[in-house]
Amino acid sequence: MKFNSLKTKVLFWFALSTLITLFLFNWALYYFLEQNTKLSIQNKLYDKAVFINKKIINNVSIDKLFEAEELKTLDVAIVKENKIIFKKGKVEFDNYLEFIKKDDSFFVFNRDNSLNGMYILRVSNPFKGAILFYQYNVDEEITKEFKQIKQILIILEPVLFILLLLLASRLVDKILRSIKDITSTANEIYVNNFSKEIPQPKYDDEIKELVDSFNKMIIRLKDGVEHLEQFNSDVSHELKTPLTVIRGEVEITLNKIRDPKYYEKSLKTIDNEARTITEIVDNLLLLTKYTKENIEQTFDVISLDSILLNTIDKFKNQVKIKNIKLNIEKLNPIQMNANSVLIATVFSNLIDNAIKYSKENTNINISLYEDDNIHFIIEDTGIGMEEKHLNKITKRFYRVDPSRNKKVKGFGLGLSIVQNSVFLHNGDMKISSEEQKGTKIEILF
């Protein structure tokens, strides 16, 4: 077991904490045992003092009194009017007056390297004074008490310590099992392999939260890599054509000296293709810029009807050229928490497509209203499409048939951007179309 491993560190601190706890327990036990023993000795001395006082009151001779068996071993002094009138035993009652004047009755102090106790019973009958008792080696009795407990603790505490350490080791192993699974899974994850997932623990605790967070991170990494790969694939695929045109135009132009008009025509071609590249890249960046994780940070309360009217106004020249009439069948004032750029893009792309694929002198009907959901509906009477294309039309760069309408400019990104924008707003998009009759698209938020 490595010393710098998490398990070793946890067990080390647990063992240290346990040892400190046991030490404090032993100290507390000794302290309470000491206090209890002192109290027991105090009570014994008190009982004897009361016994002596009763005898004195009953006029029993002091000399005869201390001949009793239970009093023979006592060191005692009787004080009358601040003077010792009787003393028995080897002890010198130094400073006895100071002790008598104090409020306490029981005193413990060190003398001759042992703990000794003195008890004072203050009396007023048959004389005013005090009876002083002296007890040697108070700590000896404490030691006797503690010795028995110590023998039990010597056996019990090491066993208890080992059991606690084993239990802690098993508990740490159980906790670290999920962390080992995370480490194992992380070691198996690389750019082209995000299929691994950490097994879920049985209990709903902090470890499960960690596992859930890690699995979600794997999904986010997978989505990020897929977005990047898709972006790279799309860019490399779609930029080939305009770049090939630019390169070919440059090679032909530089092949020999030409007149200025040819150079002007060639530069216009290169400019158009450069604009095409810029538009493709801008659209791809719009597709990859926002994700489910960051979209809500861009949300604000917006007016859908105002954005729609502003968008329609931008197409007034295009509809005028084809003599198309934009009919607003239903328009409710609607407030929504959303990304204004993406919502404007949704309206713009759908209206743009409807105009592009509509014949001249036709109508485009638009509705924006709210019931249980928010509805945006746009319906044209354009060229439409076959049903087989409906499940593919929102894929990037998909075009139904470029040859059927060569005048229509586009890259096949518009509906893909619309669908992604709707998805990011937790919406839904329904497309219905019939060839040569038109297309209807409904957005629900």
pLDDT for residue 404: 47
pLDDT for residue 221: 79
List the CATH number of the domain containing 347.
Answer: 3.30.565.10
Do 300 and 439 reside in the same domain of the chain?
Answer: yes
Judging by beta carbons within 10 Å of its beta carbon (0-12, 13-18, 19+), is residue 145 exposed, middle or buried? middle
Q: What is the DSSP letter of 30?
A: H
Do 285 and 313 reside in the same domain of the chain?
Answer: no
Residue 370 belongs to domain spanning = 295-444
For residue 193, being part of any structural domain is answered with no
Contact 387, 430 (CB under 8 A): no
| CB-based contacts of 34, cutoff 8 Å, min separation 6 | 142
Do 330 and 405 reside in the same domain of the chain?
Answer: yes
Q: pLDDT of 64-120, one tens digit each? A: 666 666 666 677 888 888 888 877 776 666 677 777 777 777 777 666 666 677 778
Contact 346, 443 (CB under 8 A): yes
pLDDT for residue 238: 63
For residue 176, being part of any structural domain is answered with no
For residue 199, being part of any structural domain is answered with no
Do 106 and 55 reside in the same domain of the chain?
Answer: yes
Please say which residue of 97, 113, 145 terminates a domain: 145
C-alpha dist (Å) from residue 87 to 28, 80, 117, 228, 377: 38, 12, 17, 104, 117
For residue 27, being part of any structural domain is answered with yes
Do 15 and 134 reside in the same domain of the chain?
Answer: yes
Cα separation, 197 vs 188, whole angstroms: 10
Do 250 and 339 reside in the same domain of the chain?
Answer: no
Q: pLDDT of 383-420, one tens digit each? A: 888 777 777 777 766 666 554 444 555 556 778 888 88
Query: Which residue ranges in the chain fall short of pLDDT 70?
Result: 1-4, 59-73, 90-94, 109-115, 136-147, 190-193, 203, 227, 230-231, 234-238, 241, 287, 396-412
- What are 325's two structure tokens? 């009439």
- What are 41's two structure tokens? 């000795």
Do 10 and 133 reside in the same domain of the chain?
Answer: yes
Contact 26, 149 (CB under 8 A): no
Do 284 and 315 reside in the same domain of the chain?
Answer: no
Helix H or strand E segment including 300: strand 300-303
Q: Is 382 helix (H, G, I), strand (E, B) or coil?
A: coil
Residue 203: how many other CB atoms lie within 10 Å: 10
Do 299 and 267 reside in the same domain of the chain?
Answer: no
For residue 161, being part of any structural domain is answered with no
Cα separation, 78 vs 65, whole angstroms: 12
Strands 374-380 and 363-370, by their bridges, are antiparallel
Residue 381: how many other CB atoms lie within 10 Å: 18
| CB-based contacts of 252, cutoff 8 Å, min separation 6 | 266
Cα separation, 346 vs 282, whole angstroms: 15
C-alpha dist (Å) from residue 305 to 301, 324, 340, 348: 12, 21, 12, 13
For residue 181, being part of any structural domain is answered with no
Cα separation, 115 vs 141, whole angstroms: 10
Alpha-helix runs per DSSP H in 323-435: 340-356, 414-424
Do 280 and 246 reside in the same domain of the chain?
Answer: yes
Please say which residue of 268, 289, 310 terminates a domain: 289
List the CATH number of the domain containing 37.
Answer: 3.30.450
Do 243 and 326 reside in the same domain of the chain?
Answer: no
pLDDT for residue 70: 63
Contact 364, 347 (CB under 8 A): no
For residue 160, being part of any structural domain is answered with no
Number of domains into which the chain is organized:
3
Please say which residue of 274, 289, 304 terminates a domain: 289
Do 27 and 97 reside in the same domain of the chain?
Answer: yes
CA count, 13 A, side-chain hemisphere, 300: 7
Contact 312, 272 (CB under 8 A): no
pLDDT for residue 335: 94
> For the whole model, what pTM was predicted?
0.50
pLDDT for residue 390: 75
For residue 98, being part of any structural domain is answered with yes
List the CATH number of the domain containing 285.
Answer: 1.10.287.130
